[in-house]
Chains A and B, each alone.
Chain A
Amino acid sequence: MRTFRTIVTTALVGASVGAVSPSHAEDINNQIQQLDQKVRILERKLEIADENAKAAAEKTPVAKADASGFSFAAPDKSFEIKFRGLIQQDARFWFNDDENPQSDTFLLRRVRPTIEGTVGKNGEFRFTPEFAGSSTTLLDAYTGYKFSDAVRLRAGKFKSPLGLERLQSGSDIRFIERAHPTSLAPNRDVGLQLSGDLVKDVLTYEAGVFNGVVDGGSADSDTSDDKDFVGRLFATPFKTTEIDALRGLGLGIAGSIGKEEGSGTTTGLASYRTPGQVRVFSYLTSTNAADNVLADGDRTRIAPQLTYYYGPLGVIGEYIVSSQEVRKDDQATTLDNDAWQIATTYVLTGEENSFRGINPARPFDLAKGQWGAFELAARYSELNVDDQTFPTYANPNRSVAGIQSWALGLNWYLTRNLRSSLTYENSSFDGGAAKGADREDEEILFARFQVSF
């Protein structure tokens, strides 16, 4: 604009050259001054409009709709609300299920709208109901406050910080169902937790006190006065180094300690399921209260865990041992059940693998000839029930003593938000059938279409 003003002025001065009449020169001079004022006024108006636009932008809430969800936020993000969601539509097909027939079925595995956000920069909240299944349940509901990167307080119902794969989001797990260690880890529990970075990008911690839930269980309240203390340390010791091959290595250890006392209405003990979600182990129960097996004392869990990501390769491994003092009538003991898994995935299309999922470099678009990202997955997993369990605490003809499962998977990430998956999983069992025989293998093909944002 200033250039324009200079050009106009120069042109007019140039045009005045040769003018001989003093009055004519004065007229031209006046015109130049008037034009100069008009240009200055236009410039100033633009300047003010820019200032007003900036001031308005600083106050205008920011609405976003992108791959990470839908949100409204104050310009400085001190207040923000996000709307997120996860919908998984599954199909399950059983093979060779003559002895324990199962119904091939379509089902909604997860239907979870989430509202989360920040209040006053450091406050946070999240609310997630679960609409899949026979009834609506409250999955997550918590509030929190971030004092610093090292100290974050969270209160409410959320994932207890123990099982590695349990802590992985349901939208990011690489097989349709999680592996056996998750059967021994607490799921959602109500309590208080502190978490944060002990060493930024290298060492994180979580420590909390919770009501305490059975293996694999969730609950909204406690049935006893005793509480569980749960803690987890997770290190990525090479993340900040230049050693590319080790930067994605993560090592962790988690544990819990508490007491559980069963009663006539709640045994305080868990059942275990197959990958197809068929219950294959449960403690003895009876209409005669004295014959029920009950939790009766200390419950501890220890869970070493590992992750490794290098380019398109990903590996996770974990082991969990869950120990629980149990009682049946006048007999009591401590039962140690354990489980482990090792799973590896490889992104065929070359994208970076990570604990948080895959972001396809060429999102699905037929018009552009783009197909998204493809990933192969393989897993082996075991669950072992303590030998002392049988026959006093569980019926060996109905409950299995161990499960060994292997699985192969193919994941197709159409976009960051759309995913389709196939998993074939074969599980063999120790015991669990009449006369001490092994239960028939479970062979199942899972399919899933998932939308997450």
Chain B
Amino acid sequence: MKHTIKKTLTVLTAALLAVGATAKDITILNVSYDPTREFYDEFNQVFAAKWKAETGENVTIKQSHGGAGKQARAVIDGLQADVVTLALAYDIDAIAEKARLIPKEWQSRLPDNSSPYVSTIVFLVRKGNPKGIKDWGDLVKPGVSVITPNPKTSGGARWNYLAAWAYELGRNGGDQAGAQEFIRKLYKNVPVLDSGARGSTTTFVQRGIGDVFLSWENEAYLAIKEFGDDYEVVFPSVSILAEPPVTVIDKVVDKRGTRAVAEAYLNFLYSEEGQELAAKHFYRPRLASVAAKHKQRFPDINLITIDDVFGGWQEAQATHFNDGGTFDQIYGK
């Protein structure tokens, strides 16, 4: 009997070792927001090749895209994301607070507030800018049709909303009530609320609705790249510094044994190669050397920050986007 048990254990051990020896295929899931599809399509391929060269392991990065708020909720509800690369820190904070999948101080784990690239909000208008839209003030004029997604579900839409609010605060000398009225007028000109930025691109570009699309800078350039001369980018006098952050989801990577590759994946975003890819896809790189190289592509704009004007994302979310916040008050009217 003892001989049989020993033999069985030997066979089992050998089988396990054999499985281990061939277990070189790794899959991780990057849950991201709407406009990053094209960037991560290319970035994933470059990273996978690099990882293979360094470790011999085949890594496949699956992507999931949607409105940032919806994506964060999916992770909270159990979507097994190894990493998230979302539109704003508030949505990742929600993952830390509600699902406790990551530590609360997640944002200090990587450089630059865990935002390896930044972006801003610009205006995409139709060729020739027939409505003469140059700044935020033009968006509230009667007869101007504005396309922007729903700030309840889209990170990009929240940046749009806050940029417009900040513009009006700057113009009227800090009158919050005036800013709220300005936003109310702006949303009166919004005929369709998509759930995410990519949906709004479809509304504006493919369905031909609206005069101006409040867009991520990269999304605007992608539309021009794809549809050529039909559109123009307008840089408003002031916009907002959008810092899309990234993090590994600790409990998922530890459970799945993917921490090493997930961390390497995010660190690669900060490398020169990763920054070049970000710039190629119209995200503003953080690395000074790469940013200098692409200076022409990203004009200087007066960029306000969420911390300076709104006291950070938690406060901005509570005031404007939580149930009963200013957006509900405005859009409900």
**Cβ contacts B191-233/A at 8 Å (1 or 0 each):** 1111100010001000111000000000000000000000000
Contact check, B199 vs A48: say whether CB atoms are below 8 A apart: yes
Kindly provide the distance from the CB of A276 to the nearest chain B CB, expressed in whole angstroms: 50
Tell me the complex Cα distance, A45–B199, Å. Answer: 11
Contact A44–B209 (Cβ < 8 Å): yes
Asked if A41 CB lies within 8 Å of chain B CBs, one says yes
CA distance A47 to B208 in the complex (A): 14
Q: Hey, which chain A residues are within 8 Å of B199, CB to CB?
A: 48, 51
- Bound form: Cα–Cα A45–B194 in Å: 9
B49, chain A: closest CB distance, angstroms: 34
Q: Are A40 and B194 in touch, CB under 8 angstroms?
A: no
| Cβ contact within 8 Å between A44 and B195 | no
Given A40-B207, A40-B209, A43-B207, A48:B145 Cβ within 8 A: no
Interface string of A372-416 (1 = CB under 8 A from B): 000000000000000000000000000000000000000000000
Task: Determine if B207 and A44 form an interchain contact, defined as CB atoms under 8 angstroms apart.
Answer: yes
Note all chain A residues with C-beta closer than 8 A to B194. 48
A33-54: which residues lie under 8 A (CB-CB) from chain B? 37, 40-41, 43-45, 47-48, 51-52
Complex contacts, B192 vs chain A, CB 8 Å:
41, 44-45, 48
Q: Which residues of B contact A51 (CB under 8 A)?
A: 195, 199
When chains A and B are docked, how far (Å) is the Cα of A51 from the Cα of B193?
13
- The residue in A43, A48, A51 that gathers the most chain B C-beta atoms within 10 A of its C-beta is A48
**Is B209 touching A37 in the complex (CB atoms < 8 A)?**
yes
B191 with A41: CB separation less than 8 A: yes
Are A37 and B203 in contact, with the CB atoms below 8 A? Answer: no
CA distance A44 to B191 in the complex (A): 10
Residue of B nearest to A52 (CB): B195
Cα(A41)–Cα(B147), bound, Å: 11
Q: Using Cβ atoms and an 8 Å threshold, which residues of chain B touch A47? A: 207
- The chain A residue with its CB closest to the CB of B207 is A44
How many positions in chain B have a CB within 8 Å of any CB in the partner chain? Answer: 11
**CB-CB contacts below 8 Å: A248-281 with B:** none
Q: Nearest chain-B residue to A48 (Cβ)?
A: B194
A254 to B145, CA, bound (A): 76
Q: Which of A274-320 contact B (CB under 8 A)?
A: none
Residues of B within 8 A of A43 (CB): 207
Alpha-carbon distance A52/B67, docked complex (angstroms): 13
Count chain A residues whose beta carbon lies closer than 8 angstroms to a beta carbon of B: 10
Among residues of B, the one whose C-beta sits closest to the C-beta of A45 is B192
* Nearest CB in chain B to that of A39: its residue: B209
**Minimal Cβ-Cβ distance residue in A for B203:** A44
A41 contacts B209, C-beta separation under 8 Å = yes
Q: Measured between alpha carbons, how far is A40 from B204 in the docked complex, in Å?
A: 10
Separation of A51 and B194 alpha carbons in the complex (Å): 10
Once the chains bind, are A40 and B195 in contact (CB under 8 Å)? no
A20-44 interface code vs B (CB 8 A; 1 in, 0 out): 0000000000000000010011011
* Shortest distance from the beta carbon of B18 to any chain A beta carbon, whole Å: 19
Across-interface contacts of B191 in A (CB, < 8 A): 37, 41
**In the complex, A37 Cα to B207 Cα: how many Å?**
10
Interface string of A37-80 (1 = CB under 8 A from B): 10011011101100110000000000000000000000000000
Chain A nearest Cβ from B66, distance in angstroms: 9
Cα distance A51–B207 in the bound complex, in angstroms: 15
A366 to B169 Cα, complex, angstroms: 76
CA gap between A37 and B211 in the complex, in Å: 10
Taking CB atoms, residues of chain A closer than 8 Å to B145 are: 37
Task: List which B157-202 residues lie within 8 A (CB) of chain A.
Answer: 191-195, 199
**Contact partners of B207 in chain A: CB under 8 A:** 40, 43-44, 47
CB distance from A26 to the nearest CB of B (A): 14
A47 to B195, CA, bound (A): 12
Distance in angstroms between the alpha carbons of A45 and B195 in the assembled complex:
12
> B-facing mask of A186-211, CB < 8 A → 1, else 0?
00000000000000000000000000
Question: In whole Å, how far is A253's beta carbon from the nearest beta carbon of chain B?
Answer: 28
Q: Which residues of the other chain, A, contact B193 by a CB distance below 8 angstroms?
A: 48
| Closest-CB distance, B131 to chain A (whole angstroms) | 12
Distance A47 CA – B194 CA, assembled complex (angstroms): 10
**Bound-complex Cα distance A47 to B193 (A):** 12
The residue in chain A whose Cβ has the minimal distance to the Cβ of B199 is A48
Which residue of chain A has its CB nearest to the CB of B143? Answer: A34
- CA A1 – CA B10 in complex, angstroms? 70
Please, how many angstroms separate the alpha-carbon atoms of A161 and B264 in the complex? Answer: 53
Instruction: Please indicate the chain B residues that have their CB under 8 angstroms from the CB of A52 in the complex.
Output: 195
Contacts of B203 in A (CB 8 A): 44
Q: How far is B192's CA from A41's CA once the two chains are assembled, in angstroms?
A: 7
Q: Which of B21-72 contact A (CB under 8 A)?
A: none
A-chain residues with CB within 8 Å of residue B209 when the two chains form the complex? 37, 40-41, 44
Which chain A residue lies CB-closest to B77?
A59
The CA-CA distance from A284 to B160 in the complex, in Å, is 90
User: How distant is B151 from chain A, measured CB to nearest CB, in Å?
Assistant: 16
Q: Which residue of A lies closest to B66 (CB)?
A: A55
Kindly provide the distance from the CB of A119 to the nearest chain B CB, expressed in whole angstroms: 14
Min distance, Cβ A362 to any Cβ of chain B, angstroms: 46
Nearest-CB distance from B83 to chain A (Å)? 23
> Which chain A residues border B195 with CB–CB below 8 Å?
48, 51-52
Query: How far apart sit A301 and B191, CA to CA, in the bound complex (Å)?
Result: 77
- Nearest CB in chain B: distance from A27 CB, A: 14
- Separation in Å of the A35 CB from the closest CB of chain B? 13
B302 to chain A, nearest CB (A): 32
The docked-state distance in angstroms from the alpha carbon of A43 to that of B209 is 10
15 contacts between A and B (CB under 8 A): A37-B191, A37-B209, A40-B207, A40-B208, A41-B191, A41-B192, A41-B209, A43-B207, A44-B192, A44-B207, A45-B192, A48-B192, A48-B193, A48-B199, A51-B195
Residues of B within 8 A of A (CB): 145, 191-195, 199, 203, 207-209
**Closest 5 interchain pairs by CB?**
A41-B191, A40-B209, A44-B207, A44-B192, A44-B203
Task: Known pairs A40-B209, A43-B207; list 20 more (Cβ under 8 Å).
Answer: A37-B145, A37-B191, A37-B209, A40-B207, A40-B208, A41-B191, A41-B192, A41-B209, A44-B192, A44-B207, A44-B209, A47-B207, A48-B192, A48-B193, A48-B194, A48-B195, A48-B199, A51-B195, A51-B199, A52-B195
